[in-house]
Amino acid sequence: MPTERIPLISKPSMMKYIKKIGLLSIIIFMLTGIVFAQQKASDASFKVGDQTVTLSHFRGKKVMLWLFSTWCPSCRAGVQALAKNQGALEKGLHIIALRNYKNGGYPGPSIAGFVHKAAPSLLNADNWTLGEATKKLEEKYNGRGYPDIYFLINTKGEIVKVDGSPGANMDEIVSFASSK
């Protein structure tokens, strides 16, 4: 009995599909308008190598908590844009860059591998913490599973901005970093 052959998706077709998912997620994110602004940032833990770190460790600092997937094209552009603006960010903003829990369900490099390819200078930047989101952190901060979402958190621990695609919002991020 002959069996029906299921065609495989080529790598270029898969990349187009992944890009469409990323773009669709950003559009949905913008349309739903998650309301976090001026809420206290909930404490949550994440992994940095073998260590568990909590957000409360960064209280008193301006923080950008960024959750992204390493397969996401806008995330790569975001890392590159942040690296390009590192001089304006390094004194006023601590960036916590976390790979989404299980990378959003898709394959992709580790967080360090991703940053090494996209912007290797950031691997040793003092104002960057690279890690992996835990399931609980993901549920608190990215319950809808966006591939690219960030939170600007002031020194009081209040979320003042939620958005996606830092590369498209760099002026706001730099302004936040340099504000009093």
Q: What is the pLDDT of residues 90-118, one digit of tens each?
A: 999 999 999 999 999 999 999 999 999 99
Question: Would you say residue 71 lies in a domain?
Answer: yes
CATH number for position 46: 3.40.30.10
Whole-model pTM above 0.85? no
Q: Which of 166, 129, 131 is nearest to 150 (CA)?
A: 166
Q: What is the dihedral of CA 45, 46, 47, 53, to 10 degrees?
A: -40
Question: Would you say residue 171 lies in a domain?
Answer: yes
Domain that holds residue 98: 35-178
What is the tally of structural domains in the chain? 1
Question: Would you say residue 117 lies in a domain?
Answer: yes
Q: What is the DSSP letter of 77?
A: H
pLDDT tens, position by position, 28-83:
555 444 455 568 999 999 999 999 999 999 999 999 999 999 999 999 999 999 99
What H or E segment, with its residue span, contains residue 133? strand 128-133
Question: Would you say residue 163 lies in a domain?
Answer: yes
Question: Would you say residue 109 lies in a domain?
Answer: yes
Question: What is the rounded distance in angstroms from the CA atom of residue 110 to the CA atom of residue 128?
Answer: 16
Instruction: Kindly report the backbone phi and psi dihedral angles of residue 47, in degrees, each rounded to the nearest multiple of 5, phi listed first.
Output: -105, 135
75-91 burial by CB neighbour count: b if 16+ within 10 A, else e?
Answer: bbbbbebbbebbeebee
Q: Which residue has the tokens 């009995």?
A: 1
Q: Which of 69, 88, 61 is nearest to 22 (CA)?
A: 69
Question: What is the rounded distance in angstroms from the CA atom of residue 85 to the CA atom of residue 170?
Answer: 8
